[in-house]
Amino acid sequence: MAFGRFERHSGPQPFSDINVTPLVDVMLVLVVIFIITAPLLTSSIQLNLPKTADAQPSTPPQAVTLAIDKASQLFLNDQLVSADELKQQLTQAATRSPDTEVQLRADASVPYGRVVEVMGLAHQAGLTRIGFVAEPAAALAPPLPLSH
């Protein structure tokens, strides 16, 4: 048996390099945040507009409701009208405001040709904005097949 010193192992030496992985992660997050927020900051322009009594907010465009029932009768704003009266009233609406929108509601059984005639009357009166009003289909009803 030998009496001597036991050798001690000092273990791993300290690591003196900087770990840059967390630094890169933080920097990438900051870059993404700046990329997202930069356009938002430049789009909001702060203006101090001058004030005047003549400045009025624009009024929304007028709309008239035009309905065609299954008997092909015409209703303008829920009032029964003839084709001549319809044309006259649509012309008056067009002279008041050329941006007047015609909201067209036609029964499903009305022939397509009749709907086109009424659209032509509105166009001749000077109203070119026509919107078609429909009801949403029932959730359980199957779609109608398209016929050729």
pLDDT in tens, 117-147: 999 999 999 988 898 887 776 655 566 677 6
The answer to whether 76 and 66 have CB atoms below 8 angstroms apart is yes
Q: What is the pLDDT of residue 13?
A: 78
- Those residues with Cβ within 8 angstroms of residue 63's Cβ, 6 or more apart along the chain or in another chain: 100, 101, 102, 103
Whether the pLDDT of residue 104 is over 80: the answer is yes
Range of weakest confidence among 39-53, 55-69, 77-91: 39-53
What is the reported pLDDT for 109? 87
Q: Is it the case that residue 105 has pLDDT exceeding 60?
A: yes
Determine if the pTM surpasses 0.85.
Answer: no
CA-based nearest residue to 115, from 85, 74, 76, 148: 74
Residue recorded with tokens 């704003």: 77
